[in-house]
Amino acid sequence: MACASVKAHVLPQPADAFFCNTAMVELPLVMQTAAVRYRVRPMQLDDIQQVMEVERESFPTAWPQTAFRHELQQNRLGRYLIAEECSYPSQEGPPPEAQSPSTGAETGPLRRFLGNLRHLLARDMQRDHPPRGGHPSLVVGFIGVWLLPDEAHIVTVAVRGSHRRCGIGEMLLIAAIQMAQESGQSLITLECRVSNTAAVSLYEKYGFQQAGLRTRYYSNNNEDAYILTVSPVTSQRYRDEFQRLGEEHRHRWGDYELIQ
Ligand SMILES: CC(C)(COP(=O)(O)OP(=O)(O)OC[C@H]1O[C@@H](n2cnc3c(N)ncnc32)[C@H](O)[C@@H]1OP(=O)(O)O)[C@@H](O)C(=O)NCCC(=O)NCCS
């Protein structure tokens, strides 16, 4: 498990949602102040730069920037969502010390020490993931869906390497399935490399099953693709199971904002 085990008694989200894949430190209560919160929202043109970073580290053959532009501007059937880490520290924001509530017990050298430590941690986060274009948020993943006449087709999904295994891929898939349900699509399909056990496991968790194989589908290494489908996602039975999985996800990883 790559996620840190920072205990966050002062925060609404469970501990696992914090500082995924970063230094694993048990901090004193007074340090537990960085309210990391994820939001899923439609991708915009000025997200593309960060989306490309995630894309490049996720796929051997990345889509060019123009492809994302085209999808957002020209493809009426395309729906692209990003997951962002909203409380990502901003260079324009108040100094880290000012963001942290005080217990009132910090005085003298302890106060200075904690202030310095907060500052160093925030500076490290900024160095590892500098804010882009004035955005205080970090794009940590994205998903693309084509709402075709008779099916919803998931064309892409990826999570930033530093944020994998923290429930973000699942959060994006939940949002995509919900989008399909709301637009009345009962069938969801996708292709996935046969070697991609992480993705296959994610899809199987949400009821996808192998419906076929596209041989030598991927041009970079001639790998086969599974055709995975789930249907009918609009049935009450599926909705019940989907709701259970969604609640389990929120319980495990914390609440997030979903804007579609
Ligand atoms: C596939 C991918 C999107 C998963 O995102 P993620 O945020 O790491 O996944 P989550 O933490 O939400 O995990 C959800 C489920 O996915 C599966 N999963 C994710 N990573 C896994 C791994 N390394 N090994 C096995 N199962 C994995 C598990 O079923 C997991 O459920 P669990 O936590 O109850 O076991 C991510 O690995 C990625 O971006 N890969 C590169 C791009 C890619 O392959 N995209 C898919 C194209 S079809």
pLDDT digits (tens, 9 = 90+) for 114-142: 544 543 454 444 444 444 545 569 999 99
Q: Is 201 in the pocket of ligand 1 (CB under 6 A)?
A: yes
Question: Is residue 87 scored above 80 in pLDDT?
Answer: no
Q: What is the pLDDT of residue 186?
A: 97
Residue type, 211: A
CB neighbour list of residue 128: distance below 8 Å, 6 or more residues apart:
22, 162
Specify the CATH superfamily of domain 37-88+136-258.
Gcn5-related N-acetyltransferase (GNAT) (3.40.630.30)
**Of 194 and 109, more confident:** 194
Q: What is the pLDDT of residue 47?
A: 97
**Can you tell me which atom of ligand 1 is nearest the CA of 158?**
39
Catalytic residue, chosen from 38, 80, 88, 203, is 203
Q: Is 61 in the pocket of ligand 1 (CB under 6 A)?
A: no
207-225 mean pLDDT: 97
Q: What is the pLDDT of residue 255?
A: 92
**Can you tell me which atom of ligand 1 is nearest the CA of 154?**
48
Q: Is 217 a catalytic residue?
A: no
Question: Is residue 102 scored above 90 in pLDDT?
Answer: no
Q: What's this model's pTM, rounded to 2 decimal places?
A: 0.77
Q: Is 158 in the pocket of ligand 1 (CB under 6 A)?
A: yes
Per DSSP bridges, beta strands 38-42 and 257-258 are: parallel
Task: Specify the DSSP element, H or E, that contains 98.
Answer: helix 96-99
Q: Is 20 in the pocket of ligand 1 (CB under 6 A)?
A: no
CB neighbour list of residue 31: distance below 8 Å, 6 or more residues apart:
100, 114, 117, 118, 121
Q: Is 38 a catalytic residue?
A: no
